[in-house]
Amino acid sequence: AQKITQTQPGMFVQEKEAVTLDCTYDTSDPSYGLFWYKQPSSGEMIFLIYQGSYDQQNATEGRYSLNFQKARKSANLVISASQLGDSAMYFCAMREGLSRGNTPLVFGKGTRLSVIA
Amino acid sequence: EAGVAQSPRYKIIEKRQSVAFWCNPISGHATLYWYQQILGQGPKLLIQFQNNGVVDDSQLPKDRFSAERLKGVDSTLKIQPAKLEDSAVYLCASWAGTGGYTGELFFGEGSRLTVL
């Protein structure tokens, strides 16, 4: 079974509008972390935001916020006031077993966001 | 602070040839990962090192792929012999911690392999 599911292969958003990128995850581990990365056409992976499973509040980083709904196992990324430079692939990722120590990131298939002027 | 360095950035080879990729993580980062990213997909973990020991290589096709991190610093990923389906970007990432709260992984720019 897929650990991370991103159901939107591609999304379009008008410049200055907000957009939500969906991510659902599957784990039975109570201790896990959720990450969002941005990958522009140049190829590098840029860390955006992190949410821990025990965090009480939704994470925010500038124009990025994470809508964490633990019971529904979803961790959607919200980008406010979209800019042309936000056009990129966006990946949701999870690390399970934080209490066990060193576990790898597992990535979803990604969503390609295109911002329209 | 210097980032994760990878080379070469691009490589084109014929099938059945061999290729090697090099990664130098951020100084002091104990954990190093190699991911394979096929076009249109998310990165898939190939191997994870902590210092110079292998933590997880369960998804590494060991009949053709090998990786080492001899001195616990830089690492080499080798493919021999290459197949068409190995065409992908090979991403190296490093992480400072060894357990508990994670922090993010830092990625290199990747090495793009094309197998003809």
Q: Please report which confidence band the pLDDT of residue B104 belongs to, taking 50, 70 and 90 as the band edges.
A: confident
* pLDDT, mean of residues B53-74: 92
* pLDDT, mean of residues B88-97: 90
Nearest to B31 among A4, A93, A102 (CB): A102
Q: Which residues of A touch B (CB under 8 A)?
A: 4, 33, 35, 37, 42-45, 47, 50, 52, 91, 93, 95, 98-102, 104-110
* pLDDT, mean of residues B80-94: 96
pLDDT, residue B1, reads 63
Residues of chain A with pLDDT under 70: 1-2, 99-101
DSSP readout, A29-57? -SSEEEEEEEE-TT---EEEEEEETT-SS
pLDDT, residue B71, reads 85
Q: How many CB atoms lie within 10 A of CB A8?
A: 16
Residue type, A6: Q
**How does strand A111-116 pair with strand A10-14?**
parallel
pLDDT, residue A44, reads 87
Tell me how many degrees the CA angle B70-B73-B75 measures, rounded to the nearest 5.
60
Task: Kindly determine whether residue A98 and residue B56, on different chains, have CB atoms separated by under 8 Å.
Answer: no
SS3 A111: strand
First vs last C-alpha separation in chain A: 38
Report yes or no: A115 and A18 within 8 Å, Cβ to Cβ: no
